[in-house]
Amino acid sequence: KGRGMEFSDIRTYQEGDDPRLIEWNVTARTGIPHVKLMTEERELQVVILLDLSGSLRFGSMNLTKEERVAETAALLALAAVRTGDRIGMLSFAGDVVDYIPPDKGRNHALAVVQKVLSSKGRQEEADIDRALAYLGRVIHRKALLFVISDFRFKRASRLLGAASRRHDLVGIHVFDPREVSMPDIGLVRFRDPETGATRVVDTGSPSWRKSFSSMVAQINAQREILSRTCGFDLVSISTSDDLVLPLRRFFELRRRRRRH
């Protein structure tokens, strides 16, 4: 839904007008009752927050998380064209990388898609609060925000809750299957894409596998707690899954829940 009813003009009160729409300042100044005229606005302002941090440069299937994030953002931008909404994009890693203000039209949306697909990941940790602080300075109307990320934020966010209360915020969590389940493939050298640090681990070691399972459970729990406490909806998409079906299922469930 758009912003709903928006102020457009003032005129003198007429019989049958809703008294809740009386403009009291003008009425007091002129001595004649005046009412506010409201128009219905359905146009949405959609902003995609695109995570470009180093942790997204991982992929064990046909796609990396970075590529799946870009695909998802491009799909949402083109969907906004079909619904006639304004679309914008903000990419971030340790700081804001790029920003395209929301606008309408196919050419603008294609420019957003081109920017999304050409964006390169950074060897940095993601700082979602810097992105949201910047967005708060440039977006002054309520918007539909899509945060597309693997949600591996090293620090607790101070601004996600405030952004969720001010806007309609949806989190799209992108993950790789090997981040959830690691097969026993012997000794493997892992490299942290954000720090460059390397480590050799024995994936067949019972103690390592137990530690890995515990870490996965903790990360999943932290993400769910973040979503619940900050009050935003969250959908998870794997790099090995079909992209459209989980998104379609998520938004159908969301629509039904909000209808009731």
Give mean pLDDT in consecutive 10-residue pieces for the chain, a chain of 260 residues: 61 88 92 83 84 90 90 92 90 94 92 90 91 94 94 89 94 93 90 86 92 91 93 93 87 78
What was the pLDDT predicted at 38? 74
What was the pLDDT predicted at 1? 44
What was the pLDDT predicted at 2? 45
Residues facing residue 148 across a β-bridge: 50, 172
What was the pLDDT predicted at 15? 85
What was the pLDDT predicted at 3? 47
Structure pTM?
0.80
Cα–Cα dist 180/176, whole Å: 7
What was the pLDDT predicted at 4? 52
What was the pLDDT predicted at 69? 94
Cα–Cα dist 54/66, whole Å: 9
What was the pLDDT predicted at 108? 94
Tokens 């949201």 correspond to: 132
What was the pLDDT predicted at 31? 94
Read out DSSP for 189-244?
EEE-TTT--EEEEETT-HHHHHHHHHHHHHHHHHHHHHHHHHT-EEEEEETTS-SH
Cα–Cα dist 192/217, whole Å: 20
Q: Which helix (H) or strand (E) holds 174?
A: strand 168-175
What was the pLDDT predicted at 77? 92
